[in-house]
Structure 1
Amino acid sequence: MSDLDQLVATARADFDAAANPAALEDAKAKYLGKAGRVTELLKGLAALSPEEKKTRGAQINVVKQQIESALTARRQALADAELQIQLKAEALDVSLPGRQSGLGGLHPVSRTMERIEAIFGSMGFDVADGPEIETDWMSFTALNNPENHPARSMQDTFYVDMKDEGGRWYNLRPHTSPMQVRYARAHAAKHAAQMAQGQAMPEIRVIAPGRTYRVDSDATHSPMFHQCEGLWIGENVSFKDLKSVFTDFFRTFFETDDLDLRFRPSFFPFTEPSAEVDIAFSSGPLKGRWLEVAGSGQVHPNVVRNFGLDPERYIGFAFGMGPDRLTMLRYGVNDLRLFFDGDLRFLSQFR
């Protein structure tokens, strides 16, 4: 074996012994670097005659190509080995079940709101929606609750740094009653010509579900909570209709006929007479306990007048209930704050 063949064999052995790219680059420098053995051979051509230089130079170029080819082959081998290690580390076991995204679901209070709307919708009630930032007139005055009246403290609310044309602060609505006022006034305006001719206005049947705000915070109260208020106004609407509507609603909502209602005299500025509505189950963990679930009453004549209607002709009832409390009763939840904590361990039970 000639010295050049021996050089190629030695280079291949050194390249094969390189365990990583850094070691391979060190071996390359030994043969192809500025002070490498092939470079030294090329420098030695200067001392040869022209004829010898031509022959020897051709031989050295062949050796250089063989060494470079061996270097390229080793680089590719190291790269392939690294790729195999990476692929093995990232390998997927296709025999295992796939990872699935968790399924979402409606919030329990949203479920209740939809249930309320569906039940009242089957009774012919429209659903009204409106602004959560209201004027003082809509939130209080129109509901027979004038300025500085002590009854306003029953709905102590939050105020916005903005005033209406009368210089009164806007507020976060303490109840959804303003939507009853807005809906009734729009309804009266729509049928004004009809009423001016002495004809009867079509009845008003509407519920107003939505978020409301008051300065409350404990296990059964929250600064932000949900409310659903309802209104039925016509020429011959009585407490009998109110009791019938509530009886059908609660028995349908809780899916049981083993449920009794009672009306307790109470006070609300916007109704007269007024009553709290209690229910009692005939079976189950709440058997025999009277639970307050709503407030109600015959709409006060002043409020009917603010609707744009004649209180001597039109009469009806209004009510308000808390979907949050109904949700607690339906699902056996004992702390209202759980609905607003955002704890997925709690919420996932209602999927």
Structure 2
Amino acid sequence: MIDKIKEHIAIVAGFQASNKEEVEAFRIKYLGKKGFLNQFFAEFKNVPNDEKKEFGQAINTLKTTAQEKVALLKDAFEGAQEENGVYGDLSRPSEPVEIGSRHPISIVKNQIIEIFSNIGFNVSEGPEIEDDWHNFTALNLPEYHPARDMQDTFFIQTDPDILLRTHTSSVQVRYMENNQPPIRTISPGRVFRNEAISARSHCIFHQVEGLYIDKDVSFADLKQTLLYFTKQMFGKSRIRLRPSYFPFTEPSAEVDIYWGLETETDYRITKGTGWLEIMGCGMVDPNVLKNCGIDPTEYSGFAFGMGIERIAMLLYQIGDIRMFYENDIRFLEQFKSTI
């Protein structure tokens, strides 16, 4: 009798089913009221006393094996049915897809590009690792010129002529070397300066610089271009230009917009004046045109440049420039844009 039970244990262990109905029939065959297990239990009283222990252990093994087999097959078929229900039903609603958000610097950069593209400016790009000529000398900053101290530069130690660009004006130099007027281009990009990192400054930031070269370009053209930009970007119609100094433009000016004094924040960010500085500009110095192979007696032009982080901080009222670089998802998820 014990050998017969062991045969059934082997049969149960090797049993396979192709559907749930076969599993249920198997369960009834072994674990039902009239199944083999109850039949063996009924024979227990007829087993000699010296065999009862072994007989009982064999029956328990058969019972455990049958229960585990039934549970395993049921789980397999139910899991397959659930998976088919989830992935096989094409009418079932899909899981919601989270829409990503752009970085605020990308949003503002794209807005600036779109505004200037509408008035005929194209986009030019250049390398972030530059040589001395394109970053300084061609821009009317010869070696030992004191104005070089205005920009603390990251130099490549193995070659003092190679550096990380301190402005995107180097892109304008390259563009003028390879294109003849009329030129109308903007150069957005990342720049590097060896400055202490604080709430208001960083060693890495982004600029957009613009350049327009043609015959009879005047300072009035520059002013009208900047007025158009400030109206489109900020919705502000009042600007002022204050005399300033840049080695590559003459005359040069700082551009302020009238932000207003309507709120406490307006008083704070404008220091009570209502005016905010947003960029620098000026007429391209004739020496720069000459260095780039353009005849300054025939052509003139203007240039301007602004920091993207500064514009973004004004638009979104962000008080710490370091927030742009910390990759805090709570901060970045606040910004949505289709641009």
TM-score w.r.t. structure 1 length? 0.70
Alignment equivalent of 2:248, drawn from 244, 267, 270: 270
Aligned to 1:141: 137
Which aligned pairs between 1:1-351 and structure 2 lie closer than 5 A?
Answer: 4=1, 74-81=64-71, 100=96, 102-163=98-159, 168-188=160-180, 202-216=181-195, 217-254=197-234, 256=235, 258-282=236-260, 284-285=262-263, 286=266, 289-351=274-336
Cα distance between partner residues in 2 of 1:76 and 1:303: 91
Aligned to 2:40: none
Secondary structure at 2:330's aligned position in 1?
Answer: helix
The question of whether the paired residues in 2 share the 8 Å contact of 1:259 and 1:282 is answered with no
Cα offset, 1:77, TM superposition: 1.5
Cα offset, 1:248, TM superposition: 0.5
The question of whether the paired residues in 2 share the 8 Å contact of 1:162 and 1:169 is answered with no
Cα distance between partner residues in 1 of 2:104 and 2:62: 66
Cα offset, 1:290, TM superposition: 1.2
- Inter-CA distance 100–76: structure 2 relative to 1 (3 Å threshold): farther
Cα offset, 1:313, TM superposition: 1.6
Higher Rg of the two aligned structures:
1
Cα distance between partner residues in 2 of 1:228 and 1:121: 13
**Paired-residue identity, %:** 44
Q: What is the identity, as a one-letter code, of the residue corresponding to 1:180? A: Q
Cα distance between partner residues in 2 of 1:98 and 1:87: 24
The question of whether the paired residues in 1 share the 8 Å contact of 2:259 and 2:276 is answered with no
Cα offset, 1:105, TM superposition: 1.5
Cα offset, 1:281, TM superposition: 2.1
Aligned to 2:89: none
Cα distance between partner residues in 2 of 1:102 and 1:87: 33
Cα offset, 1:275, TM superposition: 0.5
- Inter-CA distance 284–81: structure 2 relative to 1 (3 Å threshold): farther
Provide structure 2 residue ranges, at least 5 long, that are not aligned to the other structure.
13-29, 32-49, 87-92, 268-272
Cα offset, 1:296, TM superposition: 0.6
Cα distance between partner residues in 1 of 2:70 and 2:253: 83
- Inter-CA distance 267–101: structure 2 relative to 1 (3 Å threshold): same
Q: Alpha carbon RMSD of aligned pairs, Å?
A: 3.6
Q: What is the identity, as a one-letter code, of the residue corresponding to 2:191? A: T
**CA offsets 1:121-165 (integer angstroms, 9 cap, x no match):** 1111110011000001100000001111111011111112443xx
Secondary structure at 2:213's aligned position in 1?
Answer: strand
The question of whether the paired residues in 2 share the 8 Å contact of 1:205 and 1:231 is answered with yes
Secondary structure at 2:281's aligned position in 1?
Answer: strand
The question of whether the paired residues in 2 share the 8 Å contact of 1:328 and 1:336 is answered with yes
Cα offset, 1:86, TM superposition: 10
The question of whether the paired residues in 2 share the 8 Å contact of 1:259 and 1:281 is answered with no
**CA offsets 1:271-322 (integer angstroms, 9 cap, x no match):** 1111011111246542752111101111111101012011122111111101
Cα distance between partner residues in 2 of 1:175 and 1:99: 46
Cα distance between partner residues in 1 of 2:173 and 2:283: 15
- Inter-CA distance 85–311: structure 2 relative to 1 (3 Å threshold): same
Cα offset, 1:73, TM superposition: 6.4
- Inter-CA distance 180–79: structure 2 relative to 1 (3 Å threshold): same
Cα distance between partner residues in 1 of 2:61 and 2:198: 77
Secondary structure at 1:349's aligned position in 2?
Answer: coil
Secondary structure at 1:105's aligned position in 2?
Answer: coil
**CA offsets 1:12-53 (integer angstroms, 9 cap, x no match):** 9xx999xxxxxxxxxxxxxxxxxx959x9xxxxxxxxxxxxx
